[in-house]
Amino acid sequence: MPADLPSSLTIRLTVNGADLEVAVDPRRSLLDLLRENLELTGTKKGCDHGQCGACTVHVDGERRLSCLQFAAQMQGRSVTTIEGVSGPGNDLHPLQKAFIRHDAMQCGFCTPGQIMSALAVVREGCPTDTTELREMLSGNICRCGAYENILKAVQEVAGDLR
């Protein structure tokens, strides 16, 4: 590595409500920052290329793919991960409970991304039409094929969360 290049840069950001200052490699993704630096392993690394949605988190309230976000650009941003969605006393979020009720997973690897994506869909104005909802969630792949039950879980709680 050339001597004039820094091996890390320091950024301040908020993760699940906590203000943090962290030194990161300038090439690091937000996903690796969360998983490796902050040990928040709920966010999953599937394809690492923006094709599967498993790494979905919220940045300033919007859903984003953390694998395609440079950590270096996160200065001042507020990030919410699956670890940050539970209620008081670590009670599961109503959508998490609905996923369990509807058996909306098999292996569960895509589930954190599905839930973060669906929570954003509710905020974006969850469509009541199932075809439209499928389109809004199409960036989250489930290789077990639990889509039908994921849709049921989201539709059941969307009205209450709106």
One-letter amino acid at 94 equals P
Q: Cα separation of 48 and 113, whole Å?
A: 13
Q: Is 9 in the site for another protein (CB under 8 A)?
A: yes
Q: Is 132 in the site for another protein (CB under 8 A)?
A: no
Residue range at the interface with another protein (CB under 8 A); choices 15-23, 25-33, 83-91, 95-103: 25-33
Q: Cα separation of 53 and 130, whole Å?
A: 20
Residues composing the chain: 162
- Which residues are paired to 12 by β-bridges? 21
Q: Is 112 in the site for another protein (CB under 8 A)?
A: no
Residue range at the interface with another protein (CB under 8 A); choices 35-43, 96-104, 131-139, 150-158: 131-139
Q: Which of 26, 87, 145, 159 binds another protein (CB under 8 A)?
A: 26
One-letter amino acid at 72 equals A
Site for another protein, residues 71 to 100, rule: CB under 8 A: 72-73, 75
Give least dist CB 91 to another protein, A: 27
Q: Which helix (H) or strand (E) holds 125?
A: helix 111-125
Q: Is 145 in the site for another protein (CB under 8 A)?
A: no
Q: Cα separation of 69 and 73, whole Å?
A: 8
Residue 145 phi, psi dihedral angles, 5° rounding: 75, 40
Structure tokens at 10: 């320091």
Q: Which is nearer to another protein, 75 or 87 (CB)?
A: 75
Residue 49 phi, psi dihedral angles, 5° rounding: -135, 20
Q: Which is nearer to another protein, 97 or 147 (CB)?
A: 147
Q: What is the contact surface with another protein in residues (CB under 8 A)?
A: 1-2, 4-7, 9, 25-27, 29, 48-50, 53, 56, 59, 62-65, 67-70, 72-73, 75, 117, 120-121, 124, 134-136, 138-140
